[in-house]
A and B are shown apart, each in its own frame.
Chain A
């Protein structure tokens, strides 16, 4: 069964008197364990699409089944719970909370989940260990390099055991070498931790890590192809 299934999704924005169609009836199915690159020029609708499957935004019409449940009519506060339990976010600008240590940033999803403090710390330490940041737990975001910050963000995305990771241009602010290192983590998350990953990018070399490439243009999907992923980013450098 599909983990993410969108059917005929339409999203419009009103600017003055004009109605702008960001998504013109998009349908897509992502199965558990997939690693999908979402590509397209800016304004193609890929970010709007990501916001909708990230439960941050609601479509004007259409259905969205996440883990078998239609969440189009779900209330906002319930969506917070869905995001917390099912989705992990990684953003282009890292989006760590400043003046808050790496450990506390990783603990955050569990705070909103009501997990007791002791277990929270243990799990956050474990997640930081997975992304190779043991010893940096108490560093503030501004004491970490871009790659390290993104790894903290990845740790935050996986700490709540969410089955889906949504990454919005995770390498956009990183240099090539660091980008490949970060992509290695995504590959590991997909292969070893069996996470389903949807990753927005407009760089072909980043997309080449993924198993499937979906291309957006003018609010529609114009291409949906399987890809034979390259193995291990570090070898590509």
Chain B
């Protein structure tokens, strides 16, 4: 048995001599390996992003909003006539066992002032449960309480952006702001969440008790109505049953006939995420097939060039056999050569893939995520291809008869 280092050195000689040929042969592997890297980078990046979005949106979330209404054959836009009420929210809480938390929600853009500072932001009227539904946290101060709701307290929780715009470096807790002229005491500061997936600043808003909002801040022609009801299902298994229960209940409450369209809409965010995940999966599958095909083609290319190499070097094989190489020595030498060829392709492909993924991140504004797993996978695959497709030429070389091989010109 000959030592690995010597075989390795011998294998590099012919690759070095035929540099151009070696690189061209590796091209298929380069493309394949880079496709593997990009596929996994984009796929994993997307799923990491979806998970992040889901986390900031809250999990197991259902959003109930008013649907479009038909008035004299004309279909109006969604929410034209607010159909959801505070009473609907109470009824859902009471009658739907799959619902964990429920928070009615109304919002309107208003001007907010503090001293000589002013800022236009979105004012959200809701209940304390909203924080639990969205998995949001209070950074400073406290959450709304049920007393705030029932007493219609003039208290507010503000987002980071609002705090910066109005107070700068001052501690906002306990200060009084005016929302549409009505004074509110700031009781809490929300933890910063940054932008959501649509690029919307999630820190630019104020939360107040919904009862106070309806009475003092929001101008609405439909008293007692809310824009939206947010619901958190008890757990991920109960989200679909919660959706059914709510639809059932609201149909009954709103007296929707069998042939009538619902005047409300239940959106299941988990389902939306599933759809997005499926899209990513399809994309990964596409890239995966590109990777598979080019690795296969690359493998055939390696086999081809190795067969050429064996023929070209028949005499060399004969010399080696005459001076004591066993057929296994010859086989290993050519196998290492093809392995090296594909492995170099794998490394170049890795570089190309990482570069490609970074370019996609930069120009396509997509999140990419390059894991060590994907690096190991692409290198492993290219190495495997080299062994599989290099085996036949190496085997063929090892079968040569030394006399014939020596006579070969």
A138 to chain B, nearest CB (A): 14
* Interface of chain B residues 281 through 332 with chain A (CB within 8 A): 315-316, 318-329
Docked CA distance A56–B318 (Å): 10
Is B329 a contact of A57 with CB atoms below 8 Å?
Answer: no
Residues of B within 8 A of A80 (CB): 321, 324-327, 329
Distance to closest chain A CB from B303 (angstroms): 23
Q: Are A113 and B3 in contact (CB under 8 A)?
A: no
User: Which A residues lie within 8 Å of B327 (CB)?
Assistant: 76-77, 80
Provide the residues of chain B in CB contact with A83, threshold 8 Å.
322-324
List chain A positions with a Cβ less than 8 A from chain B: 51, 54, 56-57, 76-77, 80-81, 83-85, 89, 91, 95-100, 108-109, 111-114, 116-117, 156, 160
The reply to whether B316 and A97 form a contact with Cβ atoms under 8 Å apart is yes
Q: What are 30 pairs between A and B in contact, CB < 8 Å?
A: A54-B322, A56-B406, A57-B403, A76-B327, A77-B326, A77-B327, A80-B324, A80-B325, A80-B326, A81-B324, A81-B326, A83-B323, A83-B324, A85-B324, A95-B315, A95-B319, A97-B316, A97-B320, A98-B316, A99-B14, A100-B10, A108-B320, A109-B323, A111-B6, A112-B323, A112-B324, A112-B329, A113-B324, A114-B2, A160-B324
**CB nearest to A76 among chain B residues:** B327
Instruction: Decide: A111 and B315 in contact? CB cutoff 8 A.
Output: no
Q: A114 touching B13 by the CB < 8 A rule?
A: no
- Given known A77-B328, A97-B316, contact A51–B403 (CB-CB < 8 A): yes
B43 at the interface (CB under 8 A from A): no
Task: Check B402 for interface membership: any CB of A closer than 8 A.
Answer: yes
Chain A residue with Cβ nearest B318: A95
List the A side residues contacting B198 at CB < 8 Å.
none
Chain A residue numbers with a CB within 8 Å of B406 are 56, 91, 95
In the A-B complex, the 10 residue pairs with the smallest Cβ-Cβ separation, listed nearest first, are: A84-B324, A112-B324, A80-B326, A77-B326, A111-B6, A109-B323, A95-B319, A56-B402, A112-B325, A56-B403
The answer on a CB contact under 8 Å between A112 and B2 is yes
Chain A nearest CB: distance from B113 CB in Å? 83
Which residues of B (7-24) have their CB < 8 Å from a CB of A? 10, 13-14, 17
- In the docked arrangement, what's the CA distance between A54 and B321, Å? 12
B1 adjacent to chain A (CB < 8 Å): yes
The answer to whether B17 and A114 touch across the interface, beta carbons within 8 angstroms, is no
A46 to B173, CA, bound (A): 108
Chain B residues near A156 (CB-CB < 8 A) = 323
CB closest chain-A residue, reference B9: A104
Chain B interface, DSSP helix/strand/loop, else mixed: helix
Residues of A close to B324: CB separation below 8 A: 80-81, 83-85, 109, 112-113, 160
Q: Is B74 an interface residue (CB 8 A)?
A: no
The contact of A99 among B3, B13, B320, B326, by CB within 8 Å, is: B13
Q: Which residue of B lies closest to A116 (CB)?
A: B3
Residues of B within 8 A of A160 (CB): 324
Apart from A77-B328, A112-B325, A156-B323, list 8 A-B contacts with CB within 8 A.
A56-B402, A56-B406, A83-B322, A85-B324, A95-B322, A108-B320, A112-B324, A112-B326
B402 neighbours in A (Cβ, 8 Å): 56
A20 to B318, alpha carbons, bound, how many Å?
Answer: 24
**Chain A residues within 8 Å of B13, by CB:** 99-100
* Distance of A111 from chain B, by nearest CB (Å): 5
Q: How far is the CB of B6 from chain A (nearest CB, A)?
A: 5
How many Å from the CB of A183 to the closest CB on chain B?
A: 22
Report the nearest A residue to B14, measured CB to CB.
Answer: A99
Report the bound CA distance from A91 to B320 in whole Å: 13
B328:A108 contact, CB within 8 angstroms: no
Q: How many angstroms from the CA of A100 to the CA of B14 in the assembled complex? A: 10
Cα distance A112–B325 in the bound complex, in angstroms: 6
| B17 and A99 form a contact (CB under 8 A) | yes
Kindly state the separation between the CA atoms of A114 and B325 in the bound complex, as whole angstroms: 11
A95-B406, A97-B316 are known contacts. Are A89 and B5 too (CB-CB below 8 A)?
no
> Is B323 touching A108 in the complex (CB atoms < 8 A)?
yes
- Which of A81, A96, A108, A116 has its CB near the most chain B CB atoms (within 10 A)? A108
**Chain B positions within 8 Å of A100 at CB level:** 10, 13
Asked whether, in the complex, the Cβ of A97 is within 8 Å of the Cβ of B2, the reply is: no
Cβ–Cβ < 8 Å partners of A114 in chain B:
1-3
Complex interface: chain A residues within 8 A of B329 (CB) = 80, 112
The residue on A at minimum CB distance from B7 is A111
Query: Which of B1, B2, B17 has the most chain A CB atoms closer than 10 A to its own CB?
Result: B2
CB distance from B200 to the nearest CB of A (A): 64
Q: Chain B residues with Cβ under 8 A from A111's Cβ?
A: 2-3, 6
Alpha-carbon gap, A130 to B402, bound state (A): 28
For residue A77, which residue of chain B has the nearest CB?
B326
Shortest C-beta distance, B86 to chain A (Å), equals: 86
A20 to B405, CA, bound (A): 21
For residue B333, give the distance in angstroms from its CB to the closest CB of chain A.
10
Docked-complex contact B6 and A117, CB < 8 angstroms: yes
Question: Bound state CA distance, A117 and B10, in angstroms?
Answer: 14
Identity of the chain B residue whose Cβ is nearest the Cβ of A89 in the assembled complex: B322
Chain B contacts of A56 at CB under 8 A? 322, 402-403, 406
Cα A57 to Cα B318 with chains together (Å): 13
Q: Which B residues touch A95, using CB under 8 A? A: 315, 318-319, 322, 406
Distance, CA A108 to CA B329, complexed state (A): 12
Nearest CB on B from A93, distance (A): 9
Residues in chain A near residue B321, CB distance under 8 A: 80
Tell me the minimal C-beta distance from A42 to chain B in angstroms. 13
Given the complex, which residues of A lie within 8 Å of B326, measured CB to CB?
A: 77, 80-81, 112
Residues of A within 8 A of B1 (CB): 114
- Centre residue among B2, B14, B319, B403 by max chain A CB count within 10 A: B319
Chain B contacts for A96, CB-based, 8 A: 319
